[in-house]
Chain A
Amino acid sequence: MQVVMRQMQTDWFGPLAVTVLAVAIIGTAAPPFLSTLNVQVLLFALATNTLIAFSQMIIIAVGQMNLSVGAIGGLSAIAFAGMMQVWGLPAPFAAVLALGIGIAAGALNGIFIARTGISAFVITLASLSVFKGINSGITRAQPFYGIPETVKAFGNNVMIGPLPWLILPTVLVILGLWFLLNRMPLGRAILAVGGNTHAAELSGISVSFTVVAAHAISGCLAALAGIMLVARLQIGQPSIGDDWLILSFAAPVIGGAVLSGGHVSVAATVLGVAIVAIITQALVLFHIDPYLVQVVLGAMILWAVGVNRWRELRIAKSAKRI
């Protein structure tokens, strides 16, 4: 019993309960929801959306926010596609360079924030505009179509059953991020700076380096999401990334992330992404009026966040009683 109670107090328990409940209800009401093809579609969405959520989560962990995740992802995506089409670079080489662009863009954000002391909100708001402007300048709003067949196959084929190849890098990132945040000095430093910058500094952590590193990781994850979306969409759409902002915040927050920093959960964020994806699919499956879709989606995210908060308060109360 105590084990169950302990599990209930974890970040991932609430989102997991919501996910299981949602799958059970939707699967019963609309059996095609659990079809192999639909599970595959869900996994495709999870593969890219999880990386988008992580790119924000790591910044939330350090107690900041990054409004430019979509712009970095979009820039890396069109760089990846453009380098293959225009310069004829092999896909792996183009992918590495695109990841480099993401890391550099993120690191630039971090350097500006660390050096100037200006809030991350303002810096990333400005850099969003810069990165999006470069994207528009390069593409002139025209997609890159010259995506090699191997890349298209990677973005659309499955390994086994409903498991797409795209899920592979995401699983590696999940494991890597968990290891980083729980076992590596840099990860602990990110959480320490997010929890209490002053205390972290006094304990010998380089706040500037930690902030730059967090933003570089965020840029790398956004770039990887952009690259994977190019593979999935089979074209380098200049508008990749335009829609990422809400999701990037919603999933970590549903997963119990503290917006002021210091506390995030990799597993719960993945479940947060799953909840948003399931809600999105359910709205389509149940023929919800298109004018109501945004309202329903917003309301359900609010509800999930509210439940999470309520759980936190209950835990805090019971802890006080003890």
Chain B
Amino acid sequence: MLAVAAGVTLLAGGVRADDTKAALVPGGPHPYFAAWEQAGKDAVRDFHLSSADYKVPEKWELNAQNQLLESLVSQGYNAFLVFPGDPVGSASTVAELADTGAPVLAIGGCLKDPSMAGFCLGTDVAHSAYLGTQQLIKVMGTGKKRIAHFTGFLVDPNTQLRIDAVKKAAEEAGDEVVQVIADIDAPEPAQEKINAYLAAHANDVDGIVTTAWVPAVVASNALRKIGDKRIKMVAIDHDQVVLQAVKDGFVAGTMLQNPYGQGYIGAFAADKLRNGCTVKADAPWKANALTSHFIDSGTVFVAADKVDTYLEAMQGITKDLLSTFQATYLVCKS
């Protein structure tokens, strides 16, 4: 059905073959992906794409995302950068998109192998959680410490990877994860559960690591309200509330991901793939629990001293990755 829609669009003369009209499609509305919009605009400017538009499904539902993708094909989009709504369930839609001749890349999150996605460009979530926990252990100081871990939706396969990574880092340091609170990447449950936990167990923990956006925001506010800087915390992402809490000393630092780089480099790669390049089989791919074609878009720990310049830090990572991207991961006719 999608192939027919794409064919009709091409026959209608809506799109020239050398015009890349890319769509950046997250799994649903979430502030993490907002940087994709600017990334798309910058990619259009820098790589001369026809367009690279940020298109958000109305809700976090695989069906809503699939319907949006189908509609985008009929609107003439011919390259897709997709955060898979489900690592397995999205595979069939991605295959349909690929059948239209459009390059499809999984960005932000991966599809489970085998899939028709060219590769996966995203945060190595386990590595990020592991590094974040190590930073937390460092700021908590010596002695056996107790850590609480606040994380995202359990249906997201990344959540279990994060839980395991935090546990691994803690055990390696001789510390203990005393509580994992999951399924709280939404304001109401995060507010209720994190505050309830801190009300009852604030004296039983030395550190908090958060590995999802909303829990990071809520925990930052909770620590500010308690006003107790004894409990150290390492957050994730770049919400203003978190960054301000880092500045004010209520949060030790935050593990930044690189959504901008994912969108920007993803759009660059999709355009190259539309114009004759192919994915290099023997590139130095990393592997994660889902795919053996993974590229780490980078992560960096930002403490109070670097919070004002975090954008530069992420742009630096993006620039470094882009400078060698084509030579490392693609085969292009010269």
Shortest distance between the CB of B182 and any CB in chain A (Å): 4
Identity of the chain B residue whose Cβ is nearest the Cβ of A283 in the assembled complex? B193
A6 at the interface (CB under 8 A from B): no
- Tell me if A238 and B29 are in contact (CB < 8 A): yes
In the assembly, what is the distance between CA of A188 and CA of B239, in Å? 48
A28 at the interface (CB under 8 A from B): no
**What's the tally of chain B residues with a CB closer than 8 Å to chain A?**
38
Contact with A along B183-208 (1 / 0, CB 8 A): 10011110111011101110000000
B332 at the interface (CB under 8 A from A): no
**B32-55 with Cβ < 8 A to chain A:** 33-34, 37
- Tell me if A35 and B200 are in contact (CB < 8 A): yes
Interface stretch of the complex, out of A12-20, A227-235, A257-265: A227-235
Chain B residues with Cβ below 8 Å from A285 are 196-197, 200-201
In the assembly, what is the distance between CA of A243 and CA of B218, in Å? 16
- Tell me if B188 and A229 are in contact (CB < 8 A): yes
Chain B residues with Cβ below 8 Å from A117 are none
- Tell me if A38 and B30 are in contact (CB < 8 A): no
Chain A residues with Cβ below 8 Å from B197 are 284-285
Chain A residues with Cβ below 8 Å from B191 are 44-45, 232-233
Interface residues on A, range: 35 or more
A140 at the interface (CB under 8 A from B): yes
In the assembly, what is the distance between CA of A40 and CA of B189, in Å? 16
B98 at the interface (CB under 8 A from A): no
Chain A residues with Cβ below 8 Å from B319 are none
In the assembly, what is the distance between CA of A110 and CA of B195, in Å? 37
In the assembly, what is the distance between CA of A141 and CA of B58, in Å? 10
Shortest distance between the CB of A125 and any CB in chain B (Å): 13
In the assembly, what is the distance between CA of A240 and CA of B200, in Å? 25
Shortest distance between the CB of B91 and any CB in chain A (Å): 24
Contact of B34 among A132, A141, A232, A277 (CB under 8 A): A141
Contact of B56 among A136, A143, A287 (CB under 8 A): A136
Contact of B186 among A42, A129, A133, A242 (CB under 8 A): A242
**B202-230 with Cβ < 8 A to chain A:** 214, 217-218, 221, 225
Contact with B along A32-69 (1 / 0, CB 8 A): 11010110111011001000000000000000000000
In the assembly, what is the distance between CA of A139 and CA of B29, in Å? 9
Main DSSP-derived SS at the B contact region: helix
In the assembly, what is the distance between CA of A60 and CA of B43, in Å? 51
Shortest distance between the CB of B215 and any CB in chain A (Å): 12
B241 at the interface (CB under 8 A from A): yes
Identity of the chain A residue whose Cβ is nearest the Cβ of B192 in the assembled complex? A45
- Tell me if A237 and B187 are in contact (CB < 8 A): yes
Chain B residues with Cβ below 8 Å from A48 are 188
Instruction: Known A37-B199, A145-B241, A291-B154; judge A233-B218 contact (CB<8 A).
Output: yes
In the assembly, what is the distance between CA of A239 and CA of B214, in Å? 10
B173 at the interface (CB under 8 A from A): no
**A230-276 with Cβ < 8 A to chain B:** 232-235, 237-240, 242-244
- Tell me if B58 and A129 are in contact (CB < 8 A): yes
- Tell me if A132 and B195 are in contact (CB < 8 A): no
Chain A residues with Cβ below 8 Å from B56 are 136, 140-141
Shortest distance between the CB of A311 and any CB in chain B (Å): 28
Q: Tell which of A35, A41, A132 has the most Cβ of chain B within 10 Å.
A: A41
- Tell me if B189 and A243 are in contact (CB < 8 A): yes
Chain B residues with Cβ below 8 Å from A42 are 196
B180 at the interface (CB under 8 A from A): yes
Identity of the chain B residue whose Cβ is nearest the Cβ of A133 in the assembled complex? B58
Q: Tell which of A40, A136, A156, A235 has the most Cβ of chain B within 10 Å.
A: A235
Interface residues, chain A, CB within 8 Å of chain B? 30, 32-33, 35, 37-38, 40-42, 44-45, 48, 129, 132-133, 136, 139-143, 145, 156, 229, 232-235, 237-240, 242-244, 277, 280-281, 284-285, 287, 290-291, 293-294
Query: A141-B26, A281-B196, A284-B179 provided; 16 other pairs, C-beta below 8 A?
Result: A32-B199, A48-B188, A136-B56, A142-B31, A142-B34, A229-B187, A239-B187, A240-B187, A240-B188, A242-B59, A280-B189, A284-B181, A285-B201, A287-B179, A291-B154, A293-B182
Q: 30 A-B contacts, Cβ less than 8 Å apart?
A: A30-B200, A32-B199, A35-B199, A37-B199, A44-B191, A45-B192, A129-B58, A132-B59, A133-B58, A139-B29, A229-B187, A232-B191, A234-B221, A237-B214, A238-B29, A242-B59, A244-B188, A280-B189, A280-B192, A280-B196, A284-B179, A284-B181, A284-B196, A285-B196, A285-B197, A285-B200, A290-B154, A290-B182, A290-B183, A294-B183
